[in-house]
A and B are shown apart, each in its own frame.
Chain A
Amino acid sequence: MKTLREMLAEARQVVPEEGPGDLQRRLKSDTPPVVIDVRDPDEYRDGHIEAATNISRGFLEFRIGGAVSDPSTPVVLYCQTGLRSVLAAKQLKELGYQNVINLGGGYQKWAQSGLPVVKDVAMTPDQIQRYSRHYLLPQVGEKGQRKLLRSRVLLIGAGGLGSPTALYLAAAGVGTLGLMDGDVVDITNLQRQVLHTTADIGKPKVESGTRTLKALNPDVNVIPLPTRITVDNVMDVIKDYDLIVDGSDNFETRYLVNDACYLAGKTNVHGSIFQFEGMATVFAPNEGPCYRCLYPSPPPAGLVPS
């Protein structure tokens, strides 16, 4: 009869092993591997490597085909300390996967090295129902939904551009939405600013906006910021968010937000409208142009209304 030690030794002979630093490098490269966490779902939920899909060891042979269709794709397996995963990796090699690597030391060593991990809260049955249409999309799925719930987006402006964006992001389950606007609701807003209602006239936009968004989706943590964005507050405000959506209503703010986002390395989703025309683009620092590349100077005063 074989001992466990012998089984592990046999597996180590056929499965190459790499450390957390190697995996991190692979993940940042142009050809990142597929990462599979072979632990049980409750271990995965308590903390996992963000890029990893969870297929617990008992289901591995049955579900691996869905995760990796090409047997030459590099696949990195990990478990808590690197033992379950090396045995699992040997199984995958026997199935015909040519490029399977074991993460030496497992999730424990990755986390102890200070590399980033994510934790999830279990989805409630209501949430599973609410986001069921996302689960059906192969590009989203449960993993994507969890990522949205962990995300933080700042909306600058809760008016004509911010309103529909806020509604759809809240509906989609973006976990934290910052809503920044110093204005109060005016009757002339209601023709397009669908975040607010007739009963809200005279109230601060972030107050009515927060109420509407929470009623739509109580999962969302709405952070009302009832103030204009200024040179004194912009860097402090944007630093806590993953993404900035600029729906501001004047050129000074747009240039300020553009500059701040570039300097802070934050991606800025830009939108603007004029009568029946709209435009949208994404300013990603150092990947593409910024607002100033597009418009080095604003139009002459009076030509285009703010």
Chain B
Amino acid sequence: MQATEAVKLLLGIGEPLVGRLLTYDALGMRFREVRLRRDPNCPLCGSTPKITDLSIHRTGGDACSATPNGHPATAAAPAPARAGG
């Protein structure tokens, strides 16, 4: 799926998965699409960004959770899948 998306993006064809999360359940052979929204409070790409460089990744602290108020994930998003591949 990643390869197909990459080719579509390079060629500028079709509808890439920007703003959409495609999930695939191999056991049930089902695909599901979840709409994704930009979070206006996102510390990176929101309207008042708190992350403007990579220094947070150097501090040795929790670079993953950057929101001081730790607001929950958007309701539409499923639980994070295993990061690995």
A277 touches B17 (CB 8 A): no
B36 touches A294 (CB 8 A): yes
A279-306 CB contacts (< 8 Å) to partner B: 279-290, 292-299, 304-306
B6 touches A294 (CB 8 A): no
8 A-B pairs, CB-CB below 8 angstroms?
A: A148-B10, A271-B1, A284-B16, A289-B36, A290-B44, A292-B44, A299-B79, A305-B82
B67 touches A306 (CB 8 A): no
B71 touches A140 (CB 8 A): no
| Cβ of A164 under 8 Å from chain B | yes
Which residues of chain A are within 8 angstroms of B14 by Cβ–Cβ distance? 139
CA distance in complex: A251, B74 (Å): 18
| Cβ of A52 under 8 Å from chain B | no
Pick from B6, B79, B85: contact of A160, CB below 8 A: B85
Contact-residue size bin, chain A (C-beta under 8 Å from the other chain): 35 or more
- Bits for B53-78, please: 1 = Cβ < 8 Å to A, else 0: 11011100011111100111110011
A285 to chain B, nearest CB (A): 7
B16 touches A297 (CB 8 A): no
B13 touches A140 (CB 8 A): yes
A281 touches B64 (CB 8 A): no
**With A161-B85, A162-B85, A272-B81 given, can you name 16 additional A-B contacts, CB distance below 8 Å?**
A139-B13, A144-B13, A160-B84, A167-B3, A174-B6, A231-B57, A245-B2, A267-B9, A272-B82, A277-B81, A280-B1, A280-B5, A281-B22, A285-B45, A298-B64, A304-B81
B37, closest chain A residue (CB): A289
Which residues of chain B are within 8 angstroms of A114 by Cβ–Cβ distance? none
A293 touches B74 (CB 8 A): yes
Residues of B within 8 A of A (CB): 1-7, 9-11, 13-14, 16-27, 36-39, 42-46, 51-54, 56-58, 62-67, 70-74, 77-85
A269 touches B73 (CB 8 A): no
Q: Inter-chain contact count A-B, CB under 8 Å?
A: 220
CA distance in complex: A306, B85 (Å): 9
Known: A231-B57, A263-B53, A290-B42. A147 touches B11 (CB 8 A): yes
CA distance in complex: A249, B83 (Å): 5
B10 touches A272 (CB 8 A): no
Pick from A148, A263, A288, A304: contact of B54, CB below 8 A: A263
Shortest Cβ-Cβ A-B pairs, 6 listed: A161-B85, A168-B3, A297-B65, A274-B82, A160-B85, A293-B39
CA distance in complex: A212, B7 (Å): 20
A199 to chain B, nearest CB (A): 22
B84 touches A295 (CB 8 A): no
B19, closest chain A residue (CB): A288
Pick from B6, B17, B84: contact of A306, CB below 8 A: B84
CA distance in complex: A245, B8 (Å): 13
CA distance in complex: A269, B17 (Å): 9
Which residues of chain B are within 8 angstroms of A284 by Cβ–Cβ distance? 16, 18
Which residues of chain B are within 8 angstroms of A286 by Cβ–Cβ distance? 45
Pick from A285, A297, A304: contact of B67, CB below 8 A: A297
A232 to chain B, nearest CB (A): 9
Which residues of chain B are within 8 angstroms of A258 by Cβ–Cβ distance? 44
